[in-house]
């Protein structure tokens, strides 16, 4: 996992002052990491209520200004507008829902688990500058939303 965090930080631009949505945030590890890296606003979303409860308890113990919500990726509502959206996906199905909260010109970074290939889905959703970064726990795709 630590290697995956390093890969994500390498792919992401400087987070200072940026807003970040983390879909599939689990227990809040990545939202806390991104906030520590200077993100101005961080929202974590996960389908697992138990993991979100863990994240919220940590937020209560050590407040970082992160909000957490329970949502299924396939039914993710518009979460506002974010400079960066990161997501952990095992299917391309929710890409449209996830990217709806990304600002024009914003950066999408997806950790694709189980060998999922996202290039075609990203192109179909209007993304450009698609880059694939190989990682043993899931390929990391980065792409810029067309302006």
Own/partner pairs, 32-41, CB within 8 angstroms, 24+ separation: 32/58, 32/64, 32/66, 33/5, 33/9, 34/86, 35/64, 35/65, 35/66, 36/64, 37/9, 37/12, 38/14, 39/15, 39/84, 40/16, 41/65, 41/82
Cβ–Cβ < 8 Å for 4, 27:
no
- Nearest alpha-carbon partner for 95 in 115, 70, 120: 120
Could you say which DSSP state residue 108 is in? E
Tens of each residue's pLDDT in the chain, 147 residues: 457 788 888 889 999 999 999 999 999 999 999 999 999 999 999 999 999 999 999 999 999 999 999 999 999 999 999 999 999 888 888 888 998 999 999 999 988 876 677 888 888 888 888 888 776 666 787 888 877
Angle at 19 between CA 127 and CA 50, to 5 degrees: 95
pLDDT value at residue 129: 86
Cβ–Cβ < 8 Å for 120, 56:
no
Q: Mind listing the domains of the chain with CATH numbers?
A: 4-9+19-145 (3.40.50.150)
Tokens of 79: 């979460």
């Amino acid at each position: 996992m630590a290697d995956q965090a390093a890969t994500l930080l390498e792919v992401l631009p400087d987070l200072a002052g940026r807003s970040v949505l983390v879909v599939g945030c689990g227990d809040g590890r990545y939202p806390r990491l991104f906030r520590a890296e200077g993100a101005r606003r961080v929202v974590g979303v996960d389908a697992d209520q138990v993991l979100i409860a863990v994240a919220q308890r940590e937020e209560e113990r050590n407040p970082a200004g992160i909000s957490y919500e329970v949502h299924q990726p396939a039914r993710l509502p518009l979460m506002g507008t974010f400079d960066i959206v990161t997501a952990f996906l095992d299917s391309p199905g929710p890409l449209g829902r996830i990217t709806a909260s990304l600002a024009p010109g914003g950066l999408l970074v997806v950790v694709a688990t189980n060998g999922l290939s996202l290039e075609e889905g990203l192109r179909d959703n209007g993304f450009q500058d698609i880059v694939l970064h190989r990682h043993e726990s899931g390929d990391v795709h980065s792409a810029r939303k067309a302006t």
